[in-house]
A and B are shown apart, each in its own frame.
Chain A
Amino acid sequence: MEKLVELRGIVKRFPGVVANDRVDFELRRGEVHALLGENGAGKTTLMNILYGLYKPDEGEIYVRGRRVELKSPKDAISLGIGMVHQNFRLVESHTVLENIILGLGEDKLRIDFEKHRRRIMELAERYGWRIDPMARIWQLSAGEKQQVELLKILYRGAEILILDEPTSVLTVQETRRLFEALRRMAREGKGIIFITHKLNEVMEVSDRVTVMRKGRVVITKETRETTKAELANYMIGRPIVFGQKKVSAKLGSIVLKVIDLKVLGDRGYPAINGVSLEVRRGEILGIAGVSGNGQVELAEAIAGLRRPLAGRILLNGVDVTGMDAGKMIELGVAYIPPEGNKLGIVPGFRVVDNLFLKAYRYPPYSNNLLLNWGKMLEKAQELIEEFGIVTPSALSRTSSLSGGNIQRLILARELSGIVGGIPRLIVAAYPTKGLDIGATEFVHDLLLRYKEMGSGIIFISEDLEELLLLSDRIAVISGGRIRGVLAREEADAEKIGLLMSEAVIQAG
C-alpha cells in the first residue's frame, strides 16, 4: 500500500504552547484516515503544516516518498494536496465557477467560462452532486458550499484531501452524502484525512484513526480493531461517564413563553419560522440541533438583540416582544453569547470593564453620569474569587486571559446578579464550546446551581451528551422550527437524530 503522505517528528511551537510535539503521521493510498482529538489537541495545526500554511519548527514532510518543503499552499496544491477548512474559504458574492477556478494558472489571461462550466458539471456528476456553476455562493446551503470546496480541490487533481471537521455544518442527510462521496474517492485511489472530534463518524467512515492529545499522537489504529469507548479513553485520557447529573428541582411557574415566533436571519430569510416553547422556573430546556438552524437567532430574539418579525415573547406573563437588550437586561434576562471570547467581551478592555459591561449603569456602580470605580473594583475582586477567574488583577487586559477564564468572566457578569438580582431567565448559547474539561464542568455545575435557585434556563448546544446530562427537556430545532420536544427520560441520541433530520413526530 503506497504511502501518500508521511510526517516525521513534526514540532510546531506558538508563543506559550507547543501545538505539535514530535508528531508522526502517515496516509496510505485509498484510505480514509481519521484524525481524532479534542479542541486544541493540535490536529488542525498539523494539517495546516501539511497544507503549507504553517512551517514546522522541526521535522520532515514526505509526499509520495519524496522529501518536500512547503512554503505556501501553492506548493501543497501543486503536489496534489487539497484542504477543506472548517469555516469555508469561499467568496460569497462570486459564482461557484469563479470560486473553483480562483488561482488556477490554466487560462493565460482571458477566462474561458464555457470550458470550465462543462468540466465542473462533469466532475460534480462523478460524485453525485448537483451544482449550478453559475449560482452565487450566498445562495447555496451549507452542504452545497462544502461540495464547492471539495470541487475546488478535486478540480486541481488533488489526490490527498484534508477535511477539517466537515460535518459540523451538515444535516444528517448531507453527512451521509458526503461519506458516500468520500468512499468513492478512496476507491479511486485518493487518500483522505478526516479531522474530527466526533466518535460516531470515526467509526462510520474511517479505515484508520490517529488520536491526538495535547499536541502528541497517542495512538494510531485500524478502525475495525477499536471501539468508541476505547477511542474516547485515548482522546481524553480517562473514561467518560455517560449519565445525568440529577438535580431534583421543583419546577415552578412559566418564566418564558414563546408563541409562534418568526425571526429574520442576517441574509433576509426567516431563520426562525414559527417557534413556540415554554420554560419554567428551575427548568433547563436543552435545544439540540446542528448549528446554523436558527438557534442563535432564537436566543438573540429572546435576549432583545433581534427584533422578531412576528409572534410573541412573554416573560413572566408580560409581553416583551421587540424590547431592546437594555430592557431585557433590566427584566432579568441573562444572555451568554456564543463564542464569548470574540463576541461577549471587549478584548482590549480591563477585566473590571468587562465585568461591568452591563451593570455599569446601575447604582451603586454609577449615579447619574458618573461612574464609581471604587465600588466596581471592590465587587470585581469578589467576583474574581467567587467564579475562580484566573487573572493577575481586576485591571489586567482581558485579552491576556485564557478562553476558559474569559467564559468564567462572562458567567460572572451575567449570573452574579450585579445587574439586579438572580436572573429570571438564562439563555446560554454553546457556553462550553472550545473549553477544556475542567472549565466545562465548572459551567455545568454553575448552571445547575442556578437551576436550583429557580432560574429558567435555555441551553443551546451541539453536544448531545451534554444536553442529555443537563436538560429536563430537550427541544430539537431544525430549519428554523421545533421538530419535537422530548422529556429527558424518553430522549436518546437516536430519537434526537431522527428529529434533526426533519421527520416530524406527530404527537408534538
Chain B
Amino acid sequence: MPPKIETRFGRIRVERRVGYGRLYSISMTLLSLALAFLVVALILTSLGLDPIKAFQVIFGVFTKPSLLLESIKQSIPICLAALGLSIAFKMNFWNIGAEGQIYMGMIASTGIVLLHEYYGFFYEWMIMPLMFLTSFLLGGAWCLIPGALKARLGVNEILPTLMLNYVAILIVDFLVHGPWRDPKGYGFPLSIPFPEYAKLNIVLGDPAYTGLLLSILGAAAAFFLLEYTRPGFEIKVVGQSPAVARYAGIHVRSTILLGSFLAGGLAGIGGLSIVSGIIGRLRPGASPGYGYTAIIVAALAGLNPWVIVAVSIFFGGLITAGGALQMSMGIPKAAAQMIQAVIFLMILVGEFIKRYKVTIERPRVGEE
C-alpha cells in the first residue's frame, strides 16, 4: 500500500510509475537542474548578489576554452575516484573514503619523487610508471583496510572509510609540516615542486589533455572489468546479494577485498593527477573534497563509467566556477560546495519524481 499523507487539499498518494521513456528521464533531470539553479539564484539574491552575473560566470567556465581546459583538469581526480566508486557501489560497498584514498595516492607519488630527488633512487624514466603503480597500490591498500574489516568482521564500511579520510589528511599534514617540507619553501608546509619528468603532461604537454586521456582509459577499464570479466561479474552478484553469490559458489570475502582494492586504487591514481597535474607539489588540503564530489558524480551518473566522465567535467566546471565567482564577484569559495549539494539534492528529488507518481486525491462528495 503506497504511503498516504493527509493534507488540507486531500490525500496525497504515491505510487510507483510503471515505465518511463528515455526522453522523459532526461527532461526530468534537466528540470531538476533548472530547479537547483533556481534555488541557488534565490539564495544569491537574498544576499544582495546578482544571480544573472553569477550564472554568466558559471556558464563561461564551459564555453571559454581556457576555462574549459581548467574544468577538465579539475575533473580528472573526480573522474578517477568516481570510476573507482562505480566499482565499489556496484558491489554495495559504500566507499565514503575516496578522499582519503586520493590523499594516499598523493603521498605515494610524492614519495617516489622524493626518493629520487633526495636519495637518487631509480632512473628518471622509471619515475612516472612507479608513481602510477604506487599510487594505485597505496590507495588500494587504504581502501582494503575497511574492505577487510567488512569481509572478515562484518563491520559496516561507511564509518571506517570516513574515519580513514581524516587520518589520511593528517598524515599529509604531518609529512609536509615535517620530513617532507621543502627546505627552500620559506617555511611553508609544501613539498618540493615536482620536476618535469614527474609531471602529468604526456599529451600535448598539458595536464588537461593527458588527464582526459587518463579518464577515458579509466572509464574503459572500469567498463571492461564490470561487463566482460569474471571478477566483474562476481562483484556485481555480490553487490546484489551476498547470499545468492555464496549460493552460486562465489567467494564473497575475496570479491569484497578485490573490489575495495580496485576502488581505492583508482582513487589513488586520482591523487597522482592532483600532485602531478594540477598543483605540481604536495600541500595540505590539496584536495578540496574531490573524493566527496566523486560520490555525487558516481550517484548522478548511475554508476555508468562513460556518463561519469561527462558528469565529472560538469562538476570540475563548478569548482572552476567557484574560483571564478570568488575573483569576479567576491563570493566565497564555499559557494561552490553549496551549489554542488543543492544540485545533488534536486536531482535526487528528480529521481524520485521519475520513479513515482504523486497524485492528490480529493475526497469525493458524499464519502466519509
Provide the residues of chain B in CB contact with A181, threshold 8 Å.
none
Contact, CB under 8 Å: A357 / B248: yes
Residues in A339-365 with C-beta less than 8 Å from chain B: 343-349, 353, 357-358, 360-361
Contact, CB under 8 Å: A53 / B247: no
Q: Flag A56-71 by CB within 8 Å of B: 1 or 0 each.
A: 0000000000000101
Provide the residues of chain B in CB contact with A328, threshold 8 Å.
249
Contact, CB under 8 Å: A326 / B368: no
Stretch at the interface among A121-129, A151-159, A366-374, A474-482: A366-374
Contact, CB under 8 Å: B249 / A358: yes
In whole Å, how far is A130's beta carbon from the nearest beta carbon of chain B?
Answer: 36
Contact, CB under 8 Å: B246 / A369: no
B8 at the interface (CB under 8 A from A): no
Contact, CB under 8 Å: A371 / B244: no
Contact, CB under 8 Å: B1 / A305: no
Contact, CB under 8 Å: A361 / B246: no
Provide the residues of chain A in CB contact with B228, threshold 8 Å.
370-371, 373
Contact, CB under 8 Å: A344 / B244: yes
In whole Å, how far is B222's beta carbon from the nearest beta carbon of chain A?
Answer: 15
B240 at the interface (CB under 8 A from A): yes
Bound-state CA distance A328–B247 (Å) is: 10
The chain A residue with its CB closest to the CB of B250 is: A326
Q: What number of B residues sit within 8 Å (CB to CB) of A?
A: 22
Contact, CB under 8 Å: B240 / A348: yes
A357-B237 contact in complex given A69-B368, A305-B246, A369-B229, C-beta closer than 8 Å: yes
Contact, CB under 8 Å: A324 / B1: no
B122 at the interface (CB under 8 A from A): no
A82 at the interface (CB under 8 A from B): no
Contact, CB under 8 Å: B230 / A361: yes
- Of the residues A69, A343, A360, A369, contact of B244 by C-beta under 8 Å: A343
Contact, CB under 8 Å: B233 / A371: yes
Provide the residues of chain A in CB contact with B53, threshold 8 Å.
none
Contact, CB under 8 Å: A346 / B244: yes
Contact, CB under 8 Å: A345 / B250: no
The chain B residue with its CB closest to the CB of A356 is: B233
A431 at the interface (CB under 8 A from B): no
Contact, CB under 8 Å: A346 / B247: no
Provide the residues of chain B in CB contact with A357, threshold 8 Å.
237, 244, 248
- Of the residues B18, B240, B241, B247, contact of A325 by C-beta under 8 Å: B247
The chain B residue with its CB closest to the CB of A368 is: B230
Contact, CB under 8 Å: B251 / A343: no
A324-B247 contact in complex given A15-B18, A357-B237, A370-B230, C-beta closer than 8 Å: no
In whole Å, how far is B5's beta carbon from the nearest beta carbon of chain A?
Answer: 12
- Of the residues A53, A325, A348, contact of B248 by C-beta under 8 Å: A325
Provide the residues of chain A in CB contact with B250, threshold 8 Å.
326
| Interface hub of A324, A344, A346 (most chain B Cβ within 10 A) | A346
Bound-state CA distance A361–B233 (Å) is: 10
Provide the residues of chain B in CB contact with A305, threshold 8 Å.
246-247
The chain A residue with its CB closest to the CB of B249 is: A326
B231 at the interface (CB under 8 A from A): yes
Provide the residues of chain A in CB contact with B241, threshold 8 Å.
346
Contact, CB under 8 Å: B230 / A346: no
The chain A residue with its CB closest to the CB of B367 is: A69
Provide the residues of chain B in CB contact with A349, threshold 8 Å.
236-237, 240
Provide the residues of chain A in CB contact with B167, threshold 8 Å.
none
A54 at the interface (CB under 8 A from B): yes
Provide the residues of chain A in CB contact with B231, threshold 8 Å.
369
Provide the residues of chain A in CB contact with B248, threshold 8 Å.
325, 357-358
Bound-state CA distance A360–B249 (Å) is: 11
Contact, CB under 8 Å: A344 / B240: no
Contact, CB under 8 Å: B229 / A371: yes
| Interface hub of B1, B230, B247, B249 (most chain A Cβ within 10 A) | B249
Provide the residues of chain B in CB contact with A353, threshold 8 Å.
233
B243 at the interface (CB under 8 A from A): yes
Bound-state CA distance A325–B367 (Å) is: 59
- Of the residues A55, A303, A346, A369, contact of B237 by C-beta under 8 Å: A346
A337 at the interface (CB under 8 A from B): yes
Bound-state CA distance A54–B4 (Å) is: 12
Residues in A22-80 with C-beta less than 8 Å from chain B: 53-55, 69, 71
- Of the residues A325, A335, A344, A360, contact of B230 by C-beta under 8 Å: A360
A369-B230 contact in complex given A15-B18, A55-B1, A346-B240, C-beta closer than 8 Å: yes
- Of the residues B230, B243, B244, B247, contact of A366 by C-beta under 8 Å: B230
Bound-state CA distance A325–B250 (Å) is: 8
Provide the residues of chain B in CB contact with A69, threshold 8 Å.
367-368
Provide the residues of chain B in CB contact with A369, threshold 8 Å.
229-231
The chain B residue with its CB closest to the CB of A361 is: B230
In whole Å, how far is B16's beta carbon from the nearest beta carbon of chain A?
Answer: 9
The chain B residue with its CB closest to the CB of A335 is: B247
Contact, CB under 8 Å: B368 / A370: no
Provide the residues of chain A in CB contact with B230, threshold 8 Å.
360-361, 366, 369-371
Contact, CB under 8 Å: A326 / B233: no
- Of the residues A15, A337, A371, contact of B247 by C-beta under 8 Å: A337
Bound-state CA distance A357–B228 (Å) is: 14
Contact, CB under 8 Å: B249 / A344: no
Provide the residues of chain B in CB contact with A499, threshold 8 Å.
none
A325-B246 contact in complex given A53-B1, A54-B1, A346-B237, C-beta closer than 8 Å: yes
Contact, CB under 8 Å: B251 / A344: no
| Interface hub of A324, A328, A371 (most chain B Cβ within 10 A) | A371
In whole Å, how far is B89's beta carbon from the nearest beta carbon of chain A?
Answer: 14
A344-B247 contact in complex given A15-B18, A54-B1, A357-B237, C-beta closer than 8 Å: yes
Bound-state CA distance A366–B4 (Å) is: 49
Provide the residues of chain A in CB contact with B240, threshold 8 Å.
346-349
Bound-state CA distance A352–B228 (Å) is: 14
11 other A-B residue contacts (CB within 8 Å) besides A335-B247, A344-B244: A55-B1, A69-B367, A69-B368, A344-B247, A345-B244, A346-B244, A349-B237, A361-B249, A370-B228, A370-B230, A373-B228
| B contacts, CB < 8 Å to A | 1, 4, 18, 228-231, 233, 236-237, 240-241, 243-244, 246-251, 367-368
Nearest 7 A/B pairs, CB to CB: A326-B249, A346-B240, A357-B248, A325-B249, A329-B249, A369-B229, A358-B248
Could you list 8 examples of A-B contacts with CB < 8 Å? Answer: A328-B249, A343-B243, A348-B240, A353-B233, A358-B248, A360-B233, A369-B230, A370-B230
| A contacts, CB < 8 Å to B | 15, 53-55, 69, 71, 303, 305, 324-329, 335, 337, 343-349, 353, 357-358, 360-361, 366, 369-371, 373
